[in-house]
Amino acid sequence: MKGETASSSPICTTLVFSDQPRCRILAPFGVRIKKGVIMTGFDGVLRERLEGMREGGSERYLPESRGDLIDLCSNDYLGLAKFPALRMRIAAAAAAEEERVGSTGSRLLTGNSELAEGTERELAAHFRGESALVFSSGYAANIGLISAVVGREDLVLFDELIHASLRDGIRLSGAKGWKFRHNDISDLSDKLARAPRRGRVWVVVESVYSMDGDRCPLREVVVLCEQWGADCIVDEAHTTGILGKNGSGMVVDEGLEERIVARVHTFGKGVGVHGACVVGSSVLRRWLINRARSFIYSTAPADTFFIAIREAVRMGGSEEGDSRRRALWERISVMEAVLGAAGLAWRGESPIVPIVMPGVAVVRAMATAAREAGYRVLPILAPTVPEGLERIRVCLHAGDDPAVYKSLIQVFEKRGWRAESRGGE
């Protein structure tokens, strides 16, 4: 296949090989040649794009599931996902209460139940809100909430590091979005001052940011929103279960629940199960039931889904949950000291520890070295983070052996990582 060339028309592609006569191949959908491989149809287009991603080191793969590695990358901050007592509680409750293995339809058709609505009432009380509405995932909650409440004439100001699901919700709403610099109150204030007033103005933030692990200056954000008449939405994905009384999140911890329009709490991280809920007024709940498309057009979760959420939140709010939160924050302090000794001034505001290692090849090599040493950490690449800010995202857990933190950093140091090489991040 050496020396091939190609010319295309809407109905055929001509291939020329240096050692073969010219041949014509009908190609109603187009034919491409990449390194001697004939690419036909839509799969060919995708294969070529994937090849480019692979060559650039940005193609993603489902990681191998290995139980022999020390987990330092999952979002199971309190260790509830693998806690036998929680599994037994869920199983016992399901045996006593489960009426059906499937919901048979959306909540607006045949999928609603007293179990679902009772769980939502309990969640509203736990998160100190007037009402709660459960969604199948945090992604579904974010896109459903924002696309339902934000109008086309509105303006959304959002922190540049918010979750992709929040950005997708803004796009679905049809509203204009302005990003402000991460946690920069001055920049947010400037944009609020310049915001046109054709519709409502919204501010969207996260209580803790998923890739940097730092906290939002939430009280200052709320004060600005009140000053300029803006409405605030907070994604509590990475604080649910680990901050606030009984793990109720940062908004409750700071006493701001009456000053936030809506909060999204997810259950697949600190709570250890799955799903999410939007917490707000009873009017907001009614509106979402009528306008949140990711709620309306999704088959309702099965009974065991609601049972798992209810039992996990109960356990998280119990003495067991308090004990695990204390253990988690003790380990965060240990990691802060370990990184400080390595020359990295990390401020332990959450269990998320970003160790920036610019360059795809570098961060992949570091992740491989950690895996070979027995640790499960994963490289975080663009577009999840900006190019040049690739990183190992370490997540801490209540049940970690604190000694592994120093050992992991030593693995990186042996491969040439130094705190001063972090590119100023």
- Residues marked active site are found at 75, 163, 206, 210, 235, 238, 269
Burial of 114 (C-beta count, 10 Å sphere; 0-12/13-18/19+) = exposed
Tokens of 129: 């809100």
User: Is the Cβ–Cβ distance between 348 and 333 less than 8 Å?
Assistant: yes
CA dist 148 → 232, 234, 266, 366, 410 (Å): 15, 15, 19, 42, 48
- Beta-strand relationship, 37-40 and 155-159: unpaired
For residue 119, which of 311, 296, 290 has the smallest C-alpha distance?
Answer: 311
Distance CA 300, CA 104 (A): 8
Going by the DSSP 8-state scheme, the letter that residue 144 receives in this structure is H
Number of residues that make up the chain: 425
Residue found by looking up tokens 């302090």 in the block: 333
The residues facing 133 across adjacent strands are: 278
Percent helix, strand and coil across the chain, each rounded to 5?
Answer: 40, 20, 40
User: Is the Cβ–Cβ distance between 12 and 26 less than 8 Å?
Assistant: yes
Tokens of 87: 């599994």
Burial of 350 (C-beta count, 10 Å sphere; 0-12/13-18/19+) = buried
In order, the DSSP letters of 61-103 are -PPP--TTSEE-S-S-TTS-TT-HHHHHHHHHHHHHH---SS-
Residue 9 identity (one-letter amino acid): S
CA dist 391 → 286, 362, 387, 422 (Å): 41, 9, 10, 9
User: Is the Cβ–Cβ distance between 142 and 163 less than 8 Å?
Assistant: yes
Distance CA 321, CA 294 (A): 31
